[in-house]
A = this chain, B = another copy of it.
Amino acid sequence: MKTLTDPSLPTQPPAELLEALNYCRRPLIIAHLAPDGDAIGSLLALGHMLHRLGKDPILACQDPPPASLRFLPGSDRITNDVRDYAVDQIIAVDSSDPTRMGSIYDPGEHKNLPLLVIDHHVTNVAFGQINWVEPATAATAQMMYDLALALDIEIDTDLATCMLTGMVTDTRGFRTNNTTARVLDIAAALMQAGASLNRIMERTLNSHSFNLIQLWGRALETVEFDRGVIHATNSLVMREGLDGIVRPEGLTSFILGAYEAKAAVVFTELPENKVECSFRARPGQNIAEVAFALGGGGHPLAAGCTISGMLPEIKELVLSRLIEQVLSS
């Protein structure tokens, strides 16, 4: 069995990846659809580095960067229309399977070009000709830092800002359990190179719309606790007057913070009698089993599923499964 890379050492990009990066002239770099901070941070960091190597990279993503990431240098150069560009290489970043590239990857146009994959997800299906996958890293942006070391590229403020943003967002501000000492060492080096940790934290982790704050308030009014499981509901009615928002982002983690809670779930009612269930649990639990049994998936401590049916019945079903799981663990 292959063990994960020692997280205290830099990861090593494969020699063939370094060769391919040196060889290309106009690579198309693709971040995954519905991009997060690590997708955009890694996309921009790789773009900056290839530009520094004298290349003419095209930076693409099916969906635009969220407002909270538009402070990143180069984010205005990300496009969702690459039809006019003759590119000679495809690089997928932070994407665990080809569907994550969305509409940017055009099999007709792109299937004969070399496809490189750079990703940190343990679930990566290795869909490229060259696959550099490091599941022991906390973010793909952390791999970008190691790539800069391997390519001997000096890290300036812009590059440092993009890398640190990817690392801060994917670790939720250094809070995930894959935040190693090396993650903090790299973060310190990126600050020395000019990145402002405070600005990145403020922009990405402490920025939300007024509507989100209101939705939190309405959903928190419904919070209940039952035998180790804390839950809240976000119904269609609650979202009336709150345009442009569906999920109360961050709420499941927040309610799991209750001393007594071992697992948390937020129910989001969707149109056409569907309910999305977002699960979080404390170490020692395994809520992925519950999510999987209900047609969803995820990790032991963070999982989810979407079920067809009426909200009250689905809540009853899901809560009984979760309570059973928590009581038996």
Q: A185-B184, A185-B185, A220-B217 are in contact. Are A257 and B175 (CB under 8 A)?
A: no
Task: Tell whether A113 is near chain B: CB-to-CB under 8 Å.
Answer: no
- Contact in complex: A207, B173 (CB < 8 Å): no
- The answer for the CA separation of A256 and B207 in the assembled complex, in Å, is 8
Interchain nearest-CB distance for A72 vs B (Å): 16
Among residues of B, the one whose C-beta sits closest to the C-beta of A209 is: B259
- Contact in complex: B220, A216 (CB < 8 Å): yes
Task: Tell whether A12 is near chain B: CB-to-CB under 8 Å.
Answer: no
- The answer for the CA separation of A180 and B217 in the assembled complex, in Å, is 34
Interchain nearest-CB distance for A239 vs B (Å): 15
How many chain-A residues does the 8 Å CB contact rule pick out? Answer: 47
- Contact in complex: B258, A210 (CB < 8 Å): yes
Interchain nearest-CB distance for A99 vs B (Å): 31
- Contact in complex: B223, A201 (CB < 8 Å): no
CB contacts (< 8 Å) of A230 on chain B: these are 210, 213
CB contacts (< 8 Å) of A201 on chain B: these are 174-175
Task: Tell whether A214 is near chain B: CB-to-CB under 8 Å.
Answer: yes
Most B CB atoms within 10 A — which of A176, A202, A219? A202
Most B CB atoms within 10 A — which of A179, A185, A189, A209? A185
Q: List 9 A-B contacts (CB under 8 A).
A: A173-B174, A175-B206, A182-B188, A184-B187, A185-B188, A188-B188, A213-B258, A217-B219, A217-B223
Chain A residues engaging chain B, CB cutoff 8 angstroms: 67, 173-177, 179-182, 184-185, 187-189, 191-192, 197-198, 201-202, 205-210, 213-214, 216-221, 223, 225, 230, 253-260, 282
